[in-house]
Structure 1
Amino acid sequence: MSAFRLLPHAPLALVACWLSCMASPAFAQNATEQVQTQVGVVTPLSFIQTEELHFGKIFASNTAGTVTVAPNGTRTRTGGVTLFGSDHQAAEFAGMGSFNQRVQVSLGSNTIFLTGPGVRMRARTFTIGSTPTAVLSTNPQVFRIAAATGAFRFPVGATLEVNANQAPGTYSGIWTITLNYQ
């Protein structure tokens, strides 16, 4: 991935000097940079994760609470949790089938635990961003592919239970989602 960044708050005189120096043939130079480019080719009747589920940064207190990331990316809280920053996001998946094909979607477990430096936290109520939204479980939910191309995307959010006096640090967990094309 390549990124270009402009330096903020550069003095105008410095910018003007840089532009005039670059335009001058006396200072012309050639430079070559190797950059990496990637692509993932996925077979039909499969799917990939395009975004990970992030609950973001929070402050815990002496009162338990929850953090919910909805499939549309909004984040809410209950109890003694204070939300901080905006680095949260719903998980997102993309797949390929055919128009009007049925797809069963299920979770490997109804409860996932995030572990870290303190007491583990439970993630539950995984919600898929379908119309209408639906709660995913180990029992498959059936959906139809609406796109004429057969390509589809779907977001998944969840609720995290934060313990009272949760120890600071980074917590993570692994969860499984299964698609069965019919």
Structure 2
Amino acid sequence: MRSLSSILRACAKGRFAVCGSFAAALALTPTGAAAQSESASFDARAALIEPLTITKLADLDFGDIIGSSGGTIVLTPDALATCTASAGLVQTNQCQPAVFGGSASFNQRVRIRRPVGNTITLTGPGDDMTVTDITINGSPSLRRVRSNPNWERFRIDTLDGTFIFRVGGTLNVNPNQGPGLYTGTFEIRIDYQ
């Protein structure tokens, strides 16, 4: 039986993505008895989105999970995402929905397909885990028109036609899940109509 202090990390990668955590380096440089200087360096990036394409901007990341009883972590696909752990699990560190961007025309319709089977499989040092109940949120740049088990249909609400949507879901943690990093990939399909 694993102890409650075992930590596992779960994240899913959008197609052609690299799963990792944002890293910041802090350097302390002493320059004499009375003064110290601090500097920090951060990674910077920009995404240029071609019209009628889709670009991955961030990976789905459930953060660190502590517990051995099994349960679920529900990650909302909101701009200010939350992760809610069921009894017996503790979720730490920031959770992050997958974020994708696209570009078309104002008021154009787009269909976004969930991963096949509405499931993502995460593999790691222990038993596989699944992410189920995949949810897609395009607010505020996309207005939901219709939904079915496979597709979400939206209308682009931004005048310049650029939009962002986020993907969340429910991570299913097995009882006595082995600690370690669990990763998986999934594909999001978008149809511009």
Q: In which range does the TM-score fall when normalised by the shorter chain?
A: 0.7 to 0.9
What does residue range 70-89 of structure 1 map to in structure 2 within 5 Å?
70-72=76-78, 73-84=81-92, 86-89=93-96
* TM-score normalised by structure 2 residue count: 0.71
- Residue in 2 that maps onto 1:123: 131
More helix by share: 1
Conservation of the 8 A alpha-carbon contact between 1:106 and 1:137:
no
What does residue range 109-148 of structure 1 map to in structure 2 within 5 Å?
109=116, 110-131=118-139, 139-148=150-159
- Residue in 2 that maps onto 1:174: 185
SS class of match (1:88): coil
* TM-score normalised by structure 1 residue count: 0.75
CA RMSD of aligned residues (A): 3.0
Q: Please tell me whether Structure 1 or Structure 2 has the larger radius of gyration of its CA atoms.
A: 1
State the distance in 1 between where 2:168 and 2:159 align: 26
State the distance in 2 between where 1:44 and 1:98 align: 9
Among candidates 43, 62, 71, match of residue 50 of structure 2: 43
State the distance in 2 between where 1:133 and 1:169 align: 37
State the distance in 1 between where 2:52 and 2:127 align: 39
Q: Tell me how far 1:69 sits from its aligned partner.
A: 1.2
Higher relative contact order (Cα pairs below 8 Å, separated by 6+ residues): 2
Conservation of the 8 A alpha-carbon contact between 2:98 and 2:166:
yes
Q: Where does structure 1 differ by over 6 angstroms across 4 or more consecutive aligned residues?
A: 8-12
Conservation of the 8 A alpha-carbon contact between 1:60 and 1:162:
no
Number of aligned positions between the proteins: 158
Unpaired runs of 5+ in structure 2?
Answer: 1-23, 38-42
More strand by share: 2
Unpaired runs of 5+ in structure 1?
Answer: 19-35
Identify if the C-alpha distance between structure 1 residues 114 and 41 changes in structure 2 by more than 3 Å, giving closer, same or farther.
Answer: same
